[in-house]
Amino acid sequence: MLESNDLSPQKILQKISTLLLYQSVFDNEIGRAFIELLQTLSVAEIQQQRNLFFSSFDFDLAYGNWFKIMAKNNISWQDFLITEILQNENPFSHQVQTKSLANISQPILAAARQDLQALEIIYNCSTLTMRDWGQKKFNFKKITIAWNLENNNNELFLHQNKNWENEIERLANYYQDKGTGIFAKYRAFSWQKGELHGVDRPDPIEIDTLTGYETQKQALIQNTEALLKGYPALHVLLYGSRGSGKSSLVKSLLTKYGDRGLRLIEVSKSQLHNLPQIIAQLSDRPQKFIIFVDDLSFEEDDESFKSLKVVLEGNIIAKPTNMVVYATSNRRHLVREFFNDRPQLRDREEIHAWDTMQEKLSFSDRFGLSLTFSPPDLETYLNIVRHLAIKANLKIETEELLARAKQWAVRHNGRSGRSARQFIDYSISQLS
């Protein structure tokens, strides 16, 4: 293995060019800036060998660009490189999520070991090394500051190890546990322009802050834990009054189980026709996925009705066992109904009119689990207020708190979990 004093810009570029599986580690703004800096230094090295003059101008620009991009992302070069390795999508990282090392082909294993050996050498090419090359080797004296940020991610186990090629089993276990690519980087997703996009800051709501519907909460938790354990899990419909916390309850599952491999994908009703395309990207992943459809309802002859029906019922393609649909709605039957939909004796246009009506009414039955959220009575509403006030450490006498909460419900949006939350948020600002 090359020692740090044996490194040179040309040798590092050669190591990057030999990568067989992990080329995309450098397919980002930090990686591209690093390669541009190496190329600039390599040209200087060639000019130096030929006793030709080389200005420091290009080096100053390339170094400054690399420095600026790492500063913008507030990450050290070593943290960046290892993070990219641990999240990288390639044939090796993809296959070991579902196969043991013994079942991976030897060429892929050999390529992975070779790449890890090269990447370890590149890892040792620190920002201090780059600065010193410019200052000492090429006499570029203008650059005096190195981006010498401490490596602060203890999970990046390769920091503490030498001979990375011998860590391939541990790396495989990491991929199996954490996944790769976008599913390793993010826990929540939205569907935009035909592809999944990670959500940088998902709603951090915690399930313990939600109270008032304990039976429904426990049923949803049990179903989600079955999904995480690999047991058959049911699609779930959460329906009932507005503001009762249906959506918040689903989102809180991500906070509770995100570190156990749960991922949440929010899909709007208008995007339901993309469900087959979305599911195709999830079927061979080790993570477990909730496809979350909020405020679901359908109009007459709605095409998205048919798309969701296929997912719930299945078709010739087997349903992935790592995916369920959790939908919220204010309607029990989901499909909008009219009195005119009921078959009349005078109806002559359809022979089996009752069958059509039953098709509409039975759509919600395709969810294996339906959870009802009725409007809270006064006692339940006040219990929610008490619970949220304790969580917020609100300094107010209980009697006054409850009196204000009653007035708030009358003057604003009635009794609901949402109304209770709005009242507490308002009280925090007034009492602080």
Q: How many helices (H) and strands (E) does the chain have?
A: 17, 7
Q: What is the pLDDT of residue 338?
A: 45
Q: What is the DSSP string of 282-345?
A: TTT-SSEEEEEE-S--B-TT-HHHHHHHHHHH--SSPPPTTEEEEEEES-SS-B---GGGS--T
User: Is 232 exposed, middle or buried, given 0-12, 13-18 or 19+ CB atoms closer than 10 A?
Assistant: exposed
d(CA 46, CA 64) in angstroms, rounded, equals 22
Residue 260 CB contacts under 8 Å (≥ 6 apart), including other chains: 228
Answer for the pair 326, 236: CB distance below 8 angstroms, yes or no.
yes
Q: What is the pLDDT of residue 349?
A: 53
d(CA 44, CA 54) in angstroms, rounded, equals 6
Pairing of strands 236-240, 262-266: unpaired
Encode the chain (432 residues) as per-residue pLDDT tens digits. Answer: 444 456 788 889 999 999 999 999 999 999 999 999 999 888 887 877 787 777 778 888 888 899 899 999 998 888 899 999 999 999 999 999 888 899 999 999 999 999 999 999 998 887 778 777 777 776 666 666 777 766 555 556 676 667 888 889 989 988 988 889 899 889 999 998 888 999 988 988 888 878 778 899 999 999 999 999 999 899 999 988 777 788 889 999 999 999 899 999 999 888 888 888 888 888 778 899 999 998 887 665 556 666 677 677 665 455 678 999 999 987 655 555 444 544 454 444 544 444 444 455 556 667 889 898 888 888 888 888 888 888 888 888 888 989 998 899 888 878 888 888 888 888 888 876
Q: What is the pLDDT of residue 61?
A: 86
The angle at the Cα of 412, spanning 409 to 415, to the nearest 5 degrees, equals 35
> What element of type H or E holds 10?
helix 9-17
d(CA 330, CA 370) in angstroms, rounded, equals 12
3-class DSSP state for residue 56? coil
Map tokens 């090629």 to a residue: 165
Tokens representing 63?
């170094």
Residue 174 CB contacts under 8 Å (≥ 6 apart), including other chains: 86, 157
Q: What is the pLDDT of residue 354?
A: 42
Residue 375 CB contacts under 8 Å (≥ 6 apart), including other chains: 240, 241, 244, 414, 415, 416
Tokens representing 221?
């938790």
d(CA 272, CA 291) in angstroms, rounded, equals 10
Q: What is the DSSP string of 113-182?
A: HHHHHHHHHHHT--HHHHHHIIIIIS---S-----------TT-GGGG-S-GGGGHHHHHHHHHHH-SHH
Q: What is the pLDDT of residue 333?
A: 54
Alpha-carbon distances, residue 247 vs 52, 225, 240, 296, 301 (angstroms): 67, 18, 11, 11, 26
3-class DSSP state for residue 196? strand
Answer for the pair 32, 148: CB distance below 8 angstroms, yes or no.
no
3-class DSSP state for residue 60? helix
3-class DSSP state for residue 199? coil
d(CA 428, CA 432) in angstroms, rounded, equals 6
